[in-house]
Amino acid sequence: MKIAIVILNWNGRKLLEKFLPPMVEFSLDDAEVYVADNNSDDDSITFLEANYPDVKIIQNSINGGFAKGYNDALKEIDADIYALVNSDIEVTENWLKPVKSTFESFPETAIIQPKILDYKDKAKFEYAGAGGGYVDFMGYPFCRGRIFMELESDHGQFNDVADIFWASGACFFIKSEIYHQLGGFDEQYFAHQEEIDLCWRVQNEGYKVKYVGESAVYHVGGATLRESNPRKTFLNFRNSLFTITKNVPKRYVILVIILRLILDGVAGLKFVLELRPVHTWAIIRAHLSFYWYSRRMLAKRRALSFKQTSYFYCFSIVWQHFILRKDRFHSLNK
């Protein structure tokens, strides 16, 4: 099983300098390592060429974001498994072996995510992925180990191999054949939640997404867009609506979108009350962009088989967390 680790880089010389050494040390025996550069204007390429001759470099002609950046780069890589890894990920010794073993033991598996812990507090799970992702009926994502902004400490409670609904793009293993079969990431997203969309499409085709807790990595998080950036708010709200429109079964899609419009309005009001109106405006722009592209998203549904029958972990994670005050995954009503 040939594995290609692909790190997407944009002006990330400092991150490469910090996190590439353990990647090379703990990976080159089991995989090839690539850096896909999104047309950086810093000295990333010069640094790689001078210090890492064993790391292969792919230079994209433009900065097309996460989705297009990977789509362009992966056309040039021959491997059975793509390991898409953020440049701010620190890997650990033997991190690849449990993932490879799981792919071999469960042939219906298309995507795998390792345990993702917080680089800044290594005893805790990290926001982007934690112990594997799920969605509620409204399409709101959450994780084992992370409910909204509440992060659990890692006590080995998720040291399992489990079916999950979505895997984090921060560290995302996928079979290359299935990636190309489904056309890769949707480039309309640019960044944020495109991995949830791809996981949903994979399951609509009858494949599995799994989490492997024996493999652990540490993620800095927020290295591209921080939580306070309204651009991130715009992308998260808009792209979530894109994903629902494309992937929710026909019998649910109108109801889910209506419910989301209401809850997104509540979120916008919350930002106003918190004196953060720039984020309210970001939500409004997200909806305007969604309406503009909605026909295109509906058209993309036609390519899906909808073989999956179970999508939603619970009805409303918003209700359970903010009203019932549940902040641990094991306390949720499934």
* DSSP string for residues in 243-281: HHHHHS-HHHHHHHHHHHHHHHHHHHHHHHHTT-HHHHH
Average pLDDT across the chain, whole number: 94
All residues at 6 or more sequence positions from 220 whose CB lies less than 8 Å from its CB, including other chains: 15, 88, 89, 119, 120
Please give the average per-residue pLDDT across 198-211, as a whole number: 95
Question: What's the whole-model pTM score?
Answer: 0.94
For residues 59 and 9, the answer to whether their CB atoms sit within 8 Å is no
Please give the average per-residue pLDDT across 326-330, as a whole number: 97
User: Per-residue confidence at 253, pLDDT binned at 50, 70, 90?
Assistant: confident
Please give the average per-residue pLDDT across 222-245, as a whole number: 84
What is the tally of helices (H) and strands (E) in the chain?
10, 14
249, pLDDT greater than 90: no
User: Per-residue confidence at 226, pLDDT binned at 50, 70, 90?
Assistant: low
Of 237, 248, 233, nearest in space to 308 by CA: 248
193, pLDDT greater than 80: yes
Share of the chain above pLDDT 70, in %: 98
**Which pLDDT score is estimated for 224?**
52
**Which pLDDT score is estimated for 306?**
79
For residues 79 and 176, the answer to whether their CB atoms sit within 8 Å is yes
**Which pLDDT score is estimated for 309?**
64
**Which pLDDT score is estimated for 304?**
77
User: Per-residue confidence at 12, pLDDT binned at 50, 70, 90?
Assistant: very high
**Which pLDDT score is estimated for 227?**
64
Helical H runs in 152-216? 176-181, 194-204
- Separation CA 127–CA 221 (nearest Å): 8
Please give the average per-residue pLDDT across 175-190, as a whole number: 96
305, pLDDT greater than 70: yes
Please give the average per-residue pLDDT across 98-105, as a whole number: 98
Map out the domains of the chain as residue ranges. Answer: 3-219, 230-331
User: Per-residue confidence at 228, pLDDT binned at 50, 70, 90?
Assistant: confident
φ, ψ of residue 128 in degrees (nearest 5): -85, 80
**Which pLDDT score is estimated for 250?**
84
83, pLDDT greater than 90: yes
CA 106: distance to chain centroid?
22
In the chain, beta strands by DSSP E: 3-9, 32-37, 56-59, 81-86, 89-91, 109-118, 121-125, 133-135, 141-143, 146-147, 150-151, 161-163, 171-175, 208-219
Tokens standing for residue 45: 């390429």
φ, ψ of residue 18 in degrees (nearest 5): -85, -45
Q: What is the pLDDT of residues 105-160, one digit of tens each?
A: 999 999 999 999 999 999 999 999 999 999 999 999 999 999 999 999 999 999 99
Q: What is the pLDDT of residues 268-280, one digit of tens each?
A: 999 999 999 999 9
Please give the average per-residue pLDDT across 292-310, as a whole number: 84
Share of the chain above pLDDT 90, in %: 90
91, pLDDT greater than 80: yes
Q: What is the pLDDT of residues 48-63, one digit of tens each?
A: 999 999 999 999 999 9
One-letter amino acid at 15 equals L
CATH of domain 3-219: 3.90.550.10
191, pLDDT greater than 90: no
- Separation CA 83–CA 303 (nearest Å): 25
For residues 102 and 235, the answer to whether their CB atoms sit within 8 Å is no
For residues 271 and 228, the answer to whether their CB atoms sit within 8 Å is no
